[in-house]
Chains A and B, each alone.
Chain A
Amino acid sequence: MSVSLVYTAAGIILFLLGTYGLVAYAHLLRKILAANIMGSGVFMVFIAVAGRTPGAPDPVPHAMVLTGIVVTVAFTSVALALAVRIARTSNRAHLPGRDEEQR
């Protein structure tokens, strides 16, 4: 019980760490990496919650995390393809800032 609480808390901190990375860094690859860390945090909360039931762990959150992992890899692959395309089109690995956008 207390173990699952430790992992729940760790999951929430991972989520917020990832959020910070996603907001704070400009490089697109770093942002995508941060989003994956966010996702891992959320999955950890799911798994920790599944382990709280008496007896064998609840399989439903496990299945949800499997779904979540696949959806995340789908998003990651599109995000990376988009980042590569932006790098090839505009020769940069970040989004234009406010000043650049005005042009």
Chain B
Amino acid sequence: MTPGLLLLFDLLLPAVLLWLAWRSLTSSDLFRAVILFIAFSLLLALAWVRMEAPDVALAEAAIGAGVTGALLLVALARIESAAGRRLSPSARWRSAALVLTGTALLAAAAGLLWSLRLLPTMPGGLGPLVDRHLAESGVDHPVTAVLLNFRGYDTLLEVGVLLLAAIAIWCLDEAVPFLQQPLESQLLTGFNRMMLPILLLSSGYLLWLGSHAPGGAFQAASLLAAGMLLALFSGASLPAQWSGLPLRLLLVLGFFAFLAAAIIGPLTGRALLHYPPAWEKPLILLVEWLLTLSIALILTAAVIGGRPTGSRLYPPPSSPSAEGRRQ
């Protein structure tokens, strides 16, 4: 593209993003709002590509648009079937408070935007430092090196947050089947037969790519999760004998492996997450593979939205009024 066209693109893209966000927030129909949000996320992925952040673009498209979109759509259907489509009227005190909020936010916008002039014109950043130590990290792709080695501690805790989300969701409710009966559509079955191997393959490819190019465990996991969800939508289900301990084991496997790799360091007189020399590569690879599997299952469990039914360990919650009294 010529510089002129590129400049036009750089002005147009943020403008369209802002417009989509605004429309998504204000659209009176919630289904429409969610669709607009998914469009917003996809366009955001384009912006990340433009800003030379291909890893983030992949994650945004797969997790921001894909998984979050699926989560929102499924939740919307469930909320509306339980609470109805009627939007609650906003209370009257709100209008005054809202004007106040709006004014405060406008003032904040002015202050923040004005302060941006103080951003250094020639910032340092950590890019050169990452490059210098890349050879010692066990991977060849800078973003993966930061995620799994230099700032691996962040990633360890972040996977902990994901696992925590799955536990919290299981604690809240039981899973309700998506469909009373599996869809017996020829089209869907044919589509699935085609899509599932493609998703599986591309997930493996992304994971493999992550060690030296944009890609990695999180992006691969969301593709894998998409495959699992497709299978679920067309009526597949986990065998009942798998929904107990085996499923829980698979959910925690990635996190547990990461944790085990992390404590090799302190047990051998090194720092936490300091892998023994020459072991970095195989350890990181192993952790990544197991993480992909567990994260895919956690994301799938999040969309299903509840603990597996029929487990003897976790009986269904009794009626809310009875619980209220016990409290």
Contacts and interface: CB of A to CB of B under 8 A. Distances in A.
Interface of A: 1, 3-10, 12-14, 16-21, 23-30, 32-34, 36-37, 40, 43-44, 47-60, 62-67, 69-78, 80-85, 87-94, 97-99
A37 B64 CA distance: 10
Interface residues of B, number: 89
Contact of A37 (B21, B52, B76, B82): B21
Task: Pick the most buried of A20, A53, A67, A94: most chain B CB atoms within 10 A of its CB.
Answer: A67
Contacts of B161: 70-71, 74
Nearest to A3: B10
Given A29-B72, A60-B130, A93-B88, A69 B168 contact: no
Contacts of A97: 91
A8 to B, nearest CB: 6
B22 interface: yes
Contacts of A40: 21, 40-41, 44, 64
A102 to B, nearest CB: 13
A55 to B, nearest CB: 7
B315 to A, nearest CB: 16
B155 A67 contact: yes
Contact of B25 (A9, A37, A80): A37
Nearest to B301: A77
A34 B17 CA distance: 14
Contacts, number: 252
Interface in B53-88: 53, 55-56, 59-60, 63-64, 67-68, 71-72, 75-76, 78-80, 82-84, 87-88
Given A10-B18, A65-B53, A74-B162, A81 B169 contact: yes
B96 interface: no
A44 B127 CA distance: 18
A50 B130 CA distance: 13
Q: Is the interface of B mostly helix, strand, loop or mixed?
A: helix
5 contacts: A12-B113, A54-B122, A58-B126, A67-B158, A89-B320
A8 B123 contact: no
Given A66-B147, A70-B161, 4 more contacts: A9-B113, A17-B22, A76-B68, A91-B84
